[in-house]
C-alpha cells in the first residue's frame, strides 16, 4: 500500500524540467532580468537589490517553478574570455534567451556577431529563441524596431524555430512576464524534438 501511495504522490508532484540559457554580452542585464523573473514567479521570494547586481563571472544559476514545470536558468558570463564556454551548455538546453543592451550602440555589432555565432551551432538547431531588447527604461535607447532587423538579417540561421523579439527592462520588470510565459509555451511546443527532464 505504501508503494502505491508513494507512486501516486510522485506522479502528482512530478514536473517537466527545462534548461534555459541566458546569453549576451557582459552588462547587457542578464542577471538583472533573471532576478526580476525569480521575484515575479516565485512566491515569497524577496530578491536582491537589482542595482547592486554586477557582471556574472562564470555561471549564475536560478530556478522558477510555475504552471506545473520547472525552469533551470543558466546565466552565462558574457565577457570575451567566457564566451568560449557557452557551447558546452548548448546540447542540454531547451531554450535560449539572448539579451541585448538597447542603450549600448557602440557594441551592437559585437553583440550581433556573437549572436550569429551562437545560432549557427548545430546543438541549438530548432531550440526556441527569445531576444530581449533590454534596458528600455533608459531614455533614447534603441527600440525593437531598430534592433529586430539587425538581429534577424540572417533569418536562414534562425530557421523555423520559435523566435520572438520583445522590449524589456530588468530594472522595472517591463516585458518579463511576457518573456517567461512565451518561453514556457515555446519549449512545450518543441518538447517532441527536445523532451524535458522529469523532476520528481
Mean pLDDT score, 52-69: 81
Beta pairing partners, 73: 20, 62
Assign residue 17 the CATH number of its domain.
3.40.50.300
Q: What is the pTM of this model?
A: 0.89
Of the residues 10, 63, 79, 83, only one is catalytic, namely 79
In whole angstroms, what is the distance from residue 173 CA to residue 49 CA? 13
| Residues in binding site for GTP | 24-31, 78, 134-137
pLDDT tens by residue, 116-138: 999 999 999 999 999 999 999 99
Examine the residue annotation and report whether 79 is marked as an active-site residue of this protein.
yes
Domain with 56, as residue range(s), is 2-199
Strand residue runs (E) in 57-168: 59-66, 69-76, 95-101, 129-134, 163-167
DSSP secondary structure string for all residues of 52-87: G----SSEEEEEEEETTEEEEEEEE--SHHHHTTGG
What domain count does the chain have? 1
In whole angstroms, what is the distance from residue 49 CA to residue 35 CA? 9
Amino acid at each position: 500500500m505504501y508503494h502505491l501511495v508513494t507512486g501516486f504522490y510522485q506522479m502528482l508532484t512530478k514536473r517537466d524540467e527545462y534548461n534555459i540559457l541566458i546569453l549576451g554580452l557582459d552588462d547587457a542585464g542578464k542577471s538583472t532580468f533573471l532576478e526580476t523573473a525569480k521575484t515575479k514567479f516565485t512566491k515569497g521570494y524577496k530578491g536582491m537589490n537589482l542595482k547592486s547586481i554586477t557582471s556574472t563571472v562564470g555561471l549564475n544559476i536560478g530556478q522558477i517553478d510555475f504552471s506545473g514545470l520547472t525552469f533551470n536558468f543558466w546565466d552565462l558570463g558574457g565577457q570575451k574570455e567566457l564566451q568560449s564556454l557557452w557551447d558546452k551548455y548548448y546540447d542540454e538546453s531547451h531554450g535560449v534567451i539572448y539579451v541585448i543592451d538597447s542603450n549600448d550602440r557602440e557594441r551592437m555589432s559585437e553583440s550581433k556577431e556573437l549572436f550569429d555565432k551562437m545560432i549557427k551551432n548545430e546543438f541549438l538547431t530548432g531550440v526556441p529563441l527569445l531576444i530581449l531588447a533590454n534596458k528600455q527604461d533608459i531614455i533614447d535607447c534603441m527600440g525593437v524596431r531598430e534592433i529586430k532587423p539587425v538581429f534577424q538579417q540572417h533569418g536562414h540561421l534562425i530557421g523555423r524555430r520559435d523566435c520572438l523579439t520583445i522590449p524589456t527592462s530588468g530594472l522595472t520588470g517591463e516585458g518579463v512576464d511576457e518573456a517567461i510565459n512565451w518561453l514556457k509555451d515555446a519549449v512545450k511546443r518543441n518538447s517532441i524534438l527536445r523532451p524535458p527532464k522529469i523532476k520528481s
